[in-house]
Every structure is written in C-alpha cells, then in structure tokens.
Amino acid sequence: MDFYAKLEEALTSDDIAVKEAITLQALAYCNENEVSNKAAFAPKKFIQPSYASKCRIVSPRELPARKDFDTTEGLATLVHAIAHIEYSAIDLALDAVYRFPSMPDKYKCDWLEVAADEIRHYKMLTEILHTLGYAYGDFPVHAGLFDAAEHTAESVLDRMAIIPRYYEASGLDVNPQIMKKLDNKKKNPHVAALLETLQTIYEEEIVHVHKGDKWFKYLCKKEGKEESVYFEILERYNLTTKHRPHINVEARKAAGFACEEILKLGAKECE
C-alpha cells in the first residue's frame, strides 16, 4: 500500500468509515511489513481539521455550558463534547504516524492502534448521541486539539509531551469526575450507556498515555535530554498555569508518570 498517501486520505476525510477502513488496513500492513521511512516525504500542513465540513467551529468561550444533564439536550451536549474529543484524537493519532515518518515502525503501529481505539470510542458515543436524537455536528465545537497538533508539527518530542502526556493525561483527571457527577442518574438508560462507555475510554486512555510516555522517554534518551524537559515544553506552550483541582495520581502512575512529576503538576501526595 502507499502508506502515507492512505494516511493523508484518512486524515482529510470526514467519513468515519473511511478513517476506520484505512486505519485498520495501515495497522495490518504495519504489523506485517517494514514501513518505509520516506526520507524525501514532506507531510502536508492541513489548514483546517477534517471535521470542519461537519461542525461549526467556535472559540471555547462560545461553547454552550454543559451542566444540565437532566434534560435530553443537556446530556446530548455532554456526549457531543466527548465525541468531539474522541474524533479529534483519531486524527491526532493518525497525524502522529503521518507527520513523523522517521520514527520506528513500533511507534507507527502503536499510534495506529490508538487511532483504532479512538474510532471505536467515537462510534460508541455517536450511537448514544443518536439514541438521544442528535448527531455529531449538531452542536458547535472548538479546534483546540487541532491547533495543538499544528503547533507541535515540527517536533515529535513536543508532540509526545503535549498531546498524550498533557492533553490525554488531563483526560485521566477529568473522566472520573464526569462519571461521579453522572452516577446518581444511572437509572436513565442513556446515562448508563454513557457511564459504561466512559469507563472503557478511561481504561484504554491509560494505555494511550503510557504509549506517549514511552515514546517521550525514548526521544529524550535519543536526543540526550533529561525527562524534566517535559516541564520546559509545557512552559513554552503556556500550559503550566492551568489550575488542576483533581490530579488522578494512580492513573498517571499507571501511565508512566513519576511521583516527582505528579507532585509538580499539583497533586497533594504521591507514593
């Protein structure tokens, strides 16, 4: 297969079936063949996310509040927001393979596996959305993760630090808090389905963050940098001042974070 041309097709398509078919094809190919590093390959810079044709993109301040989970629309806005994160994560995982062809084949297979997981998560969430009477694209979204991918397009070390080790790891902090808020509504079958889906996402995101952690540390070693460069990178991207009311110590430890890092991120204790 023309590995990189197919990845580009998946990245620019807004059709989840196309993304899924190419991801699974590329993953099977990666597991069975040596993938060319394509030294002369120049990945494209995308001017807009693939969901731009489906969704109205607004600034984060313009997004509807997601507090009233007792109404169908309120619950749908929450499901839609999480589905949008998962859709964005599909393209982030594919782009991690497409944009950095000199990385080892194991790296490529890892992120194709992540993309396949994110596709499954997205489909689970959109199925719930449909049972609520809505579809992906019915609510506005922001392009924060697309912007983060663009900002880290020149450095795979920055990409591993910012996407899996910052944004996805932050999801490990937030996900249990959402589940906690929904727990007293689990008699609602839509909420019960969402809780089950969130638990699956939570467990698999620990694995995704761990993959990011592994490749971040691989790159630090390769480039002769201390792992503490993580905080220098966060500072460079203006991500050190964000208030973190809940640090999920156990999940972050399972994903590869050291206690020293977890405490520096704001946790009260870590053993």
Query: How is the chain classified by DSSP, letter by letter?
Result: --HHHHHHHHHH---HHHHHHHHHHHHHHHHHSPPP--TT--PPPPSS-GGGGTS-B--GGGSPP---TTSHHHHHHHHHHHHHHHHHHHHHHHHHHHS-TTS-HHHHHHHHHHHHHHHHHHHHHHHHHHHTT--TTSS-B--HHHHHHHHTTT-HHHHHHHIIIIIIHHHHHHHHHHHHHHGGGTTSHHHHHHHHHHHHHHHHHHHHHHHHHHHHHHHHHHHT--TTHHHHHHHHTT-SS---S---HHHHHHTT--HHHHHHTT-S---
**What percentage of residues in the chain have a pLDDT greater than 90?**
87
Residue 244 is predicted with a pLDDT of 72
Mean pLDDT in residue range 237-252: 87
Predicted confidence band of residue 140 (pLDDT cuts 50, 70, 90)? very high
**Which residue ranges form the domains of the chain, and what is each CATH number?**
3-37+62-264 (1.20.1260)
Mean pLDDT of the chain: 94
Q: What pLDDT is attached to residue 182?
A: 93
Is pLDDT at 99 greater than 90 in this prediction? yes
pLDDT at 39: 61
In the chain, % of residues over pLDDT 70: 98
Please report the pLDDT score of residue 66 as a whole number.
67
Predicted TM-score of the model (pTM):
0.95
> pLDDT band at 155, cuts 50/70/90?
very high
Task: Using the predicted structure, report yes or no on whether residue 245 has a pLDDT greater than 80.
Answer: no
pLDDT at residue number 91:
98
Stretch 220-225: mean pLDDT: 97
User: Is residue 152's pLDDT more than 90?
Assistant: yes
Per-residue pLDDT, 5: 93
pLDDT digits (tens, 9 = 90+) for 19-76: 999 999 999 999 998 887 766 678 999 999 999 999 999 998 888 776 678 899 999 9
pLDDT, residue 19, reads 98
Overall average pLDDT of the 152-172 stretch: 97
